[in-house]
Chains A and B, each alone.
Chain A
Amino acid sequence: QSALTQPASVSGSPGQSITISCTGTSSDVGGYKYVSWYQQHPGKAPKLMIYDVSNRPSGVSNRFSGSKSGDTASLTISGLQAEDEADYYCSSYRTSSTFVFGTGTKVTVL
């Protein structure tokens, strides 16, 4: 049961845009709309940022957006702010009623 693949780290300056990729297979990311993204600050529980590939829950900034192409999903943060510095994880439904998370990406605001 391998995890989805994310870059270990991504960085950007305030105001810039960054994109985090999440690569799986046709049995998870590529096969279902159930891709979600979570933000986690140190010592805190994860927070839902994107669901169903590209939908934002109420209260989440519109600077966060999601997309998917084939077996790879992406999270874009535009207008990067200091408060965006955190770890980010993707998640996908996988066949046989299971779920899988990505390896996680540390976002650094320079």
Chain B
Amino acid sequence: QVQLVQSGAEVKEPGASVKVSCKTYGSTFSNYFIHWVRQAPGQGLEWMGTINPSVGSTSYAQKFQGRVTMTRDTSTTTVYMELSSLRSEDTAVYYCAREPTNTGWFDPWGQGTLVTVSS
């Protein structure tokens, strides 16, 4: 059974960067994409972007272009999402989720990582 396990909560100051990890258990890096979705407190889900872990290609939401970088480490089946120039509005729970290649659906999801941006 595939499981995604994310890194722990982070507290960052405005202007800093944060890097969240998402490790895949029970599967290799083949035949799927990893997506990142965030949810601000009391708000809805927001798609941030995706990475093909096999080849490292990425696609980002226009809103985050220039501020987000998604990478992977094939030796540890771990994907990373780094968000820079943090501001208070970036306070949210960040989720990773798996999409079997070109299926358009996300399952499973990681447990979520709370990132708090505060001075």
Stretch in A12-20, A75-83, A93-101 with 4+ CB within 8 Å of B: A93-101
Say if the beta carbon of A48 comes within 8 Å of chain B.
Answer: yes
CA distance A45 to B63 in the complex (A): 23
Q: State whether the Cβ of B17 lies closer than 8 Å to any Cβ in chain A.
A: no
In the assembled complex, how far is the CB of residue A73 from the closest CB belonging to chain B, in whole angstroms? Answer: 12
- The answer to whether A99 and B110 touch across the interface, beta carbons within 8 angstroms, is no
Is B13's CB within 8 Å of the partner chain A?
A: no
Q: A102 touching B106 by the CB < 8 A rule?
A: no
Interface string of B55-98 (1 = CB under 8 A from A): 00001011100000000000000000000000000000001010
Residue in A48, A51, A104 whose beta carbon sits within 8 Å of that of B44 in the complex: A104
Q: What is the number of residues of chain A that contact chain B, defined by CB distance less than 8 Å? A: 29
Interface residues of A, dominant DSSP: strand
Given A1-B61, A45-B95, A51-B104, A101 and B45 contact (CB-CB distance below 8 Å): yes
List residues of A whose CB falls within 8 A of some B CB: 1, 3, 32-36, 38, 40, 45-48, 51-52, 57, 89, 91-93, 96-104
Contact of B47 with A100 in the complex, beta carbons under 8 Å = yes
The residues of B with any CB-CB pair to A shorter than 8 Å are: 35, 37, 44-47, 50, 59, 61-63, 95, 97, 103-107, 109-112
* In the bound complex, CA of A47 to CA of B45 (Å): 12
Identify the interface centre among B63, B95, B97, B111: most chain A CB within 10 Å of its CB: B97
- Once the chains are docked, how many angstroms separate the CA of A34 from the CA of B111? 24
Complex Cα gap A92–B112 (Å)? 21
| B106 surroundings in chain A (CB, below 8 A) | 36, 38, 46, 48, 91
Q: List 14 A-B contacts (CB under 8 A).
A: A1-B61, A40-B45, A45-B109, A46-B95, A46-B109, A47-B107, A48-B105, A52-B105, A91-B45, A91-B104, A92-B104, A96-B59, A98-B59, A99-B35
